[in-house]
Amino acid sequence: MTPQTTSQALKTVEFEKPILTDDDSAGTSCVAHAWAKVPPVLSQDERAALKDRIRRLLKARNAVLVAHYYVDADLQDLAEETGGCVSDSLEMARFGREHPATTLVVAGVRFMGETAKILSPEKTILMPDLDATCSLDLGCPADDFAAFCDAHPDRTVVVYANTSAAVKARADWMVTSSIGLKIVEHLHARGEKILWAPDKHLGGFIQKQTGADMLLWQGSCLVHDEFKGIELDLLRKEHPNAKILVHPESPANVVALADVVGSTTQLITAAQQLDAKEFIVATDNGILHKMRMAAPGKHFIEAPTAGNSATCKSCAHCPWMAMNALSNLAEVLEKGHNEIHVDPEIGRQAYTCIDRMLDFAAKQKANVRPSSDLARESQLFQGVGPA
Ligand code: SF4
């Protein structure tokens, strides 16, 4: 990936890239390097002026802002106050498809913009920065993945949302972390063997919970991969009353310490509903903004990452999510650039696996008897560690 022309500072990002070996398994990995733009630091006055400009431009363009929980707090607030949404990738996809606006502005990373385009090909999809990517997407190139699938034609191909349109085009199902376990349970019950990509930790977690036969691609999220079990255990001892909330992209020894394992939305619901005043949170720290709003008066502590703030790779914040800023959001709305395009044939093929998931999710919702959200969600991802 080469940077588009930019005056912004760049930082190098190290991530784990799976390697296909001779036996056609993606069982090993190497360290690869990418880069991310460092977001500008703005004064209060600059932020206020940009927010006003964005509110006006959203109206003028008949556009709606769809933001992920991991992006800057200002963008999350703007999305909510202007009638857009802040959510996980499943809800972002669903919201964008159903909203009547002709332009969707997706504040997140590139695969989210592509998914929005695949689901709403008639809409204009803009993103603050087209170079905002994801280590899972980078670590699963379409050609390598196709070779992996070709080597295992007897398996149902299930891919996580964090993949390119071309990888989704090769899949039977797309899943997000909020529904992956239910879909694999369903496929396992039908006797299907699964080829899973790209996140090895999420795949391993689902494999353990369901007992399904899953062949795993060895990708990882550079943010979640950095959380450390030993340090988390020490932190837990310092805060014996805290509940531990963990995203399943984290390593197994971190998941093993969790009171609740779940998607971003499920973790926010847990923070709201669990009877605890203190939480240790193992996911991107961008989520803390929403957690504090959803559960005022509660205290949230970031789970420890490798090294300290000077040496950690991500320091619990995705460098690509951080590329979404007020300044580039205002600029794309003004100029209409940074439009997402997906090859129509690839989009058509990828649509099937995304639509299959949305349809499954809608049926699940219809089948769930009214109960607390947390009770429903705990059926999807249970607390697997000490209660
Ligand atoms: S937080 Fe991880 S999974 Fe999410 S976009 Fe960043 S690198 Fe990808």
Q: Would you say the CB of residue 109 lies under 6 angstroms from ligand 1?
A: yes
- Output the CA 60–ligand 1 centroid distance in Å: 32
Pocket flag, ligand 1, residue 167 (CB < 6 Å): no
Pocket flag, ligand 1, residue 67 (CB < 6 Å): no
Predicted pLDDT of residue 312? 76
Location of structure tokens 């093929």: 349
pLDDT in tens, 235-257: 999 999 999 999 999 999 999 99
Confidence of residue 5 (pLDDT cuts 50, 70, 90): low
> For position 6, what pLDDT does the model report?
60
Whether the per-residue pLDDT at 374 is higher than 60: the answer is: no
SS (H, E, C) 334-372: HHCCCECCCCHHHHHHHHHHHHHHHHHHHHHHHHCCCCC
User: From ligand 1's centre to the CA of 369, what distance in Å?
Assistant: 33
Rounded to the nearest integer, the mean pLDDT of the chain is 91
Q: Per DSSP, what are the bridge partners of residue 227? A: 305
Rounded Cα gap, residues 317 and 106, in angstroms: 18
Q: Is 161 annotated as a binding residue?
A: yes
pLDDT of 287 over the 90 cut: yes
Tokens of residue 79, six digits? 């999305």
Asked if residue 140 belongs to a known ligand binding site, the reply is: no
pLDDT in tens, 319-364: 999 999 999 999 999 999 999 999 999 999 999 999 999 999 989 8
Beta bridge partners of 245: 260, 281
pLDDT bracket for residue 381 (50, 70, 90): very low
Q: Which atom of ligand 1 lies at the shortest distance from residue 137's CA?
A: 8
- Average pLDDT of the segment spanning 175-183: 94
Q: In this prediction, what percent of the chain has a pLDDT beyond 90?
A: 81
pLDDT of residue 139: 96
Say if ligand 1 is within 6 A of residue 284 CB: yes
Task: State the Cα–Cα distance between residues 373 and 19, nearest whole angstrom.
Answer: 40
Mean pLDDT of 38-49: 94
Answer for the pair 19, 29: CB distance below 8 angstroms, yes or no.
yes
Local structure of residue 19 (DSSP, 8 states)? E
Residue nearest to atom 7 of ligand 1 (CA): 134
Looking at the CA of residue 319, tell me the nearest atom of ligand 1.
Answer: 6
Ligand 1 neighbour 138 (Cβ under 6 A): no
Q: How far apart are CA 330 and CA 312, in angstroms?
A: 31
- Domains in the chain and their CATH numbers? 10-20+27-135+320-335 (3.40.50.10800), 140-220+344-367 (3.40.50.10800), 228-302 (3.40.50.10800)
| pLDDT single digits (tens) 111-150 | 999 999 999 999 999 999 999 999 999 999 999 999 999 9
Contact 254, 229 (CB under 8 A): yes
Does residue 34 have its Cβ closer than 6 Å to ligand 1? no
Evaluate: CB of 221 within 6 angstroms of ligand 1.
yes
Is 318 labeled as ligand-binding? yes
**Positive or negative: CA dihedral 253, 161, 66, 182:** negative
Tokens 């429903």 sit at which residue?
376
Kindly report the protein residue whose alpha carbon is nearest to atom 3 of ligand 1.
Answer: 221
